[in-house]
Amino acid sequence: MTSLQGKIALVTGASSGFGLAIARTFAAHGARVIVAARREERLQALRDELAARYGSEACAALGMDVRDRNDVRNAFAQIESTGWGAIDIVVNSAGLAAGLEAIQDGVFDNWDRMIETNLNGLLNVTRFALPGMIERGGGQIVQIGSVAGRDAYPGGNVYSATKAAVAMLTRGMRIDLMKSGVRVSNVAPGLAETEFSVVRFGGDTERAKSPYVGIDALTADDVADAVLWVVTRPAHVNIDELVIMPTAQGSANHVHRR
């Protein structure tokens, strides 16, 4: 197991869900964590929490919209200027699903939000992080994908397409970066109960509970534990893809409910 002590990790989408749990887990294992998201008030609360537990240098909060390339560029410039620039690990956790309509009823704005966040946002962050990693001869990019990138399901059309693109992009990055010492991994969770469905259903909390009825779904901490395992493998080991699902789920389309 490779230690995270003193390593600098940038986690996007850190204001909730997987990103929040990953940031907490990394900090607990000695990493210095840069938490990034659009909801800055949540980031400040997380920074204060981690500073109280692990010291004032444990966490930095960074308001950033991954969809906005100039915003990402400015955020990385800010990271450099504050002495947090030597990023060892990037976890691209910012992502969302919007709507569950059949393709013929799809909402264009929802499509744009998913493509711009799940794919373009990941590309923006990765592009600005990689040159420093390559220059230093090492680092790691972790994508938070989904089992939806392996199996389509009713109403999941565009969301599944973005996560399939993330999986293929990760494979392409692996080939491009083989000589660099930079590792790239795709962690693909199944059903996990976070704010994901609340966002998908536009804040309808009752409808958001429906995917998790009758099943012991994954938690954000389960996924954070999987990401921790991926990033603490020895330097010569790259986990290309890790699929993690509840025991009662066999695929995106097969779930046993009590």
Residues labelled catalytic: 159
Strand bridging mode 32-37 / 249-251: unpaired
- Give me the helices (H) in 29-64, please: 40-54
Cα radius of gyration (the chain): 18
Q: Which residues contact 1 (CB under 8 A, 6 or more apart)?
A: 232, 233
Pairing between strand 249-251 and 254-255? antiparallel
Residue 215, token pair as written in the block = 């099943």
- CA–CA dist 140, 91 (Å, integer): 8
How many CB atoms are located within 10 Å of the residue 87 CB?
23
Both structure tokens of 30: 């000695």
The tokens for 72 are 């990402």
Q: What are phi and psi of 97, to 5 degrees?
A: -120, 145
